[in-house]
């Protein structure tokens, strides 16, 4: 897949898209416009990422609104799957089959056969570094191997777009790094557009700067990840500091303009500081420590989890 991408066209576009499962909202009046390259869909579990992908793949139909992939509506449009490769976040591989049998099935479903299919299986399995495990039963694969095999299945027919639903979920750091490198390579060297989801913001940051943040079925922010970080930084942050001479440090922090509040934690071994401008806080902290004579043994943000960030973004 080395077709030059026209950055002006949309890879995936949704307008006022909603999907309800009975009384449960999957997506609510959701709009987005994904362009070529790698795009991250980030949101906590249950935010609507998988629902978005199912709609994009035509596995479910929209309740209201529209979604299009490469300008085509996916529901009841099987032809569109020639252009999409999908790697789901759940176990979808037939455990009784070997990797080769699975890829042969996928190839057959994409009208590939004979020497062309065998050649492509060899090529793709090398790309995902699974060529040595092709003739082993999938049931005996590790989590990382299964993820690679799912990606191989998604790549086999050389699609324009790859949709990867939580490809890093449940993998160890080494596998995660390998998959991140693979996804980048697929975009850079093979020209695939990639839409990848995760509930971990920093994982997506390692893949791309173009992100869509989803929360409770709505797109709450879209664009460059640094802009989203700026947006997040406009909201008060809660930071826990523990260490020696913490009382003096608390007083010094309280005198600063960016401080909203300071409270002592149980046992008075630490404080929770709420600041309006976290960047200013972090740059001023060494000076404040020196002035107050306090030392810090541990410091962490209570807002590192995605749920807290999204609560800020939707104003809760």
Partner 1 sequence: MDLDTALTGIVAIARHSFKKLIFSRKAVITLLITVFVAAVMGYAGSQDVDPLPDGTDMLDTLILFFFMPVMAMIYGASLIRDEIDDKSITHVATAPLDRSFSYLGYYISLALAVVVSMIIVNTAGFFAFFAQNDLGSEAMEVYLEFTVLVTVGAFVYSALFLAVGVMLKKPVFFGLVYAFIWEGFIGSLPGAIQKVSVKYYLRSVGSDWVDYGRMSGFDEALGPLASGLVLVGLLVFFVMFGAYLFRETELA
In three-state form (DSSP H/G/I as H, E/B as E, the rest C), the secondary structure along the chain is CCCCCCCCCEEEEEEEEEEEECCEEEEEEEEEEEECCEEEEECCCCCCHHHHHHHHCCCCCCCEEEEEECCECCCCCHHHHHCEEEECCCCCCCCCCEHHHHHHHHHHHCCCCHHHHHHHHHHHHHHCCCHHHCCCEHHHCCHHHHHHHHHHHHHCCCCCEEEECCCCCCCCHHHHHHHHHHHHHHHHCCCCEEEEEECCHHHHHCCCCEEEEEECCEEEEEEEHHHHHHHHHCCCEEEEEEEECHHHHHHHHHCCCCEEEEEECHHHCEEEEEECCHHHHHHHHHHHHHHHCCEEEEEEECCCCHHHHHHHHCCC
Question: Does residue number 135 form part of the binding site for partner 1 (CB under 8 A)?
Answer: no
Q: State which residue, 109 or 302, has the beta carbon closest to partner 1.
A: 109
Question: Does residue number 84 form part of the binding site for partner 1 (CB under 8 A)?
Answer: yes
Question: Does residue number 23 form part of the binding site for partner 1 (CB under 8 A)?
Answer: no
Q: Which of 4, 22, 79, 267 binds partner 1 (CB under 8 A)?
A: 79
Q: State which residue, 138 or 271, has the beta carbon closest to partner 1.
A: 138
Q: State which residue, 59 or 240, has the beta carbon closest to partner 1.
A: 59
* Region binding partner 1 by CB under 8 A among candidate stretches 55-63, 124-132, 141-149, 210-218: 55-63
Question: Does residue number 54 form part of the binding site for partner 1 (CB under 8 A)?
Answer: yes
* Region binding partner 1 by CB under 8 A among candidate stretches 3-11, 59-67, 193-201, 224-232: 59-67
Least distance in angstroms from the C-beta of 135 to partner 1: 16
Least distance in angstroms from the C-beta of 100 to partner 1: 13
Least distance in angstroms from the C-beta of 112 to partner 1: 8
Q: Within positions 88 to 127, which residues make up the interface with partner 1, using CB under 8 A? A: 88, 90-94, 96-97, 101-102, 104-113
Question: Does residue number 81 form part of the binding site for partner 1 (CB under 8 A)?
Answer: yes
By rule CB under 8 A, what count of residues binds partner 1? 35
Residues that bind partner 1 (CB under 8 A): 21, 54, 57, 59-61, 76, 78-82, 84, 86, 88, 90-94, 96-97, 101-102, 104-113, 153
């Amino acid at each position: 897949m080395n077709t030059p991408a026209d950055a002006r066209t949309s890879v995936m576009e949704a307008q006022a898209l909603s999907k309800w499962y009975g009384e449960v909202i999957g997506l609510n009046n959701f709009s987005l416009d994904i362009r070529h390259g790698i795009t991250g869909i980030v949101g906590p579990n249950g935010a609507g990422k998988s629902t978005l992908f199912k709609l994009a793949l035509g596995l479910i139909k929209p309740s209201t609104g529209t979604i299009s992939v490469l300008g085509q509506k996916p529901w009841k449009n099987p032809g569109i799957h020639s252009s999409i490769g999908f790697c789901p976040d759940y176990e979808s591989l037939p455990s009784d089959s070997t990797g080769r049998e699975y890829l042969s099935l996928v190839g057959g479903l994409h009208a590939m056969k004979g020497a062309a299919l065998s050649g492509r299986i060899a090529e793709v399995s090398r790309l995902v570094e699974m060529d040595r495990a092709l003739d082993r039963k999938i049931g005996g694969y590790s989590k990382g191997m299964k993820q690679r095999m799912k990606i191989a299945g998604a790549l086999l027919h050389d699609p324009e777009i790859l949709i990867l639903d939580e490809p890093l979920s449940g993998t160890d750091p080494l596998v995660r790094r390998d998959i991140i490198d693979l996804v980048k390579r697929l975009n850079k060297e093979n020209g695939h557009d990639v839409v990848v989801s995760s509930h971990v913001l920093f994982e997506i940051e390692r893949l791309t700067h173009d992100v869509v943040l989803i929360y409770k079925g709505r797109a709450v922010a879209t664009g460059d990840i640094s802009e989203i970080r700026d947006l997040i930084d406009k909201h008060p942050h809660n930071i826990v500091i523990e260490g020696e001479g913490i009382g003096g440090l608390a007083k010094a922090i309280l005198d600063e303009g960016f401080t909203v509040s300071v409270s002592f934690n149980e046992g008075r071994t630490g404080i929770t500081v709420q600041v309006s401008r976290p960047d200013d806080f972090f740059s001023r902290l060494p000076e404040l420590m020196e002035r107050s004579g306090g030392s810090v043994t541990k410091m962490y943000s209570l807002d590192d989890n995605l749920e807290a960030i999204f609560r800020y973004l939707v104003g809760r």
